[in-house]
Amino acid sequence: MLPRPASAIRFRRLLLTGAQGHLGRELRPRLKAYCETLRLSDRAAMGEAGAGEEAVVADLADAGAMLALLQGVDAVVHLGGVSTEQPWAPILAGNIVGLYNLYEAARRNRVRRIVFASSNHVTGFYRQDQVVGPKDPVRPDGLYGLSKAFGENLAQLYWDRHRIETVSLRIGSAFSPPKDRRMLATWLSFDDTERLIVAALTAPVVGHSVIYGMSDNSASWWDNTAARHIGYRPQDSADAFRAEIEARQPALDADDPATLYQGGTFVRTGPFD
């Protein structure tokens, strides 16, 4: 975890949704350093609130609960919703209806900035021999990626009509350490995740920015030039793990769609049979 000066606090109340998820649990202690009060939310119980925390169990699909959840909030880090390929019903409830409810609640409560956890799976059907950027057409690799493409469009609408700023983070593979050869290109360390989110929260002007969430990996399929205006500078790299991973995975099946496409196993996972 990164050392932080006492002057790190920037917000009176910051909301973290999806606080009980894989990334939410990692970010919970980290984000507390940047606010007086960290409001945590999830559908599941999150344990006792610590000093400077508020824990609120709420369902994204409940518009009334979202309206109450965003009262008194300065900014939102939105990790909530479905985070893997699933049947349509839970994706619709969490990632479509739920995200609309969050943005409507933000509008009505005059919240001015949201950091939205989008996904690299918005462009998962580009090949691994291509480099793509935020201005390239989306090519979702499943219903999950499709819902994140909707989320980016919703964020754009709320910027254009209501001036709610959003940084949509197309998060790569936030694990420690990287697990396989795909992650040599997609890895995002936890420390770089913190750097990225703090930059997205504190950059003076972001409008609606779409940025890939990745560390400083030598192999990369994503052009992240657009990240410069928020001041994000990754400091970690998957390269340190390359020899170990390549020894463990010396050869890949070139005919496997998971090897061909950037989305990996997501391109052949889901209720499409």
Catalytic positions, please?
144
Give the Cα separation of 28 and 245 in Å (integer): 29
Cis peptide, bond prior to residue 134, ω within 30 of zero: no
For residue 107, count CB atoms less than 10 angstroms from its CB and return exposed for 0-12, middle for 13-18, buried for 19 or more: middle
Short-list 92, 117, 115, 114, CA closest to 105: 114
Give the Cα separation of 147 and 118 in Å (integer): 9
First vs last C-alpha separation in the chain: 43
Measured in residues, the chain has a length of 273
Q: Phi and psi (nearest 5°) for 145? A: -60, -40
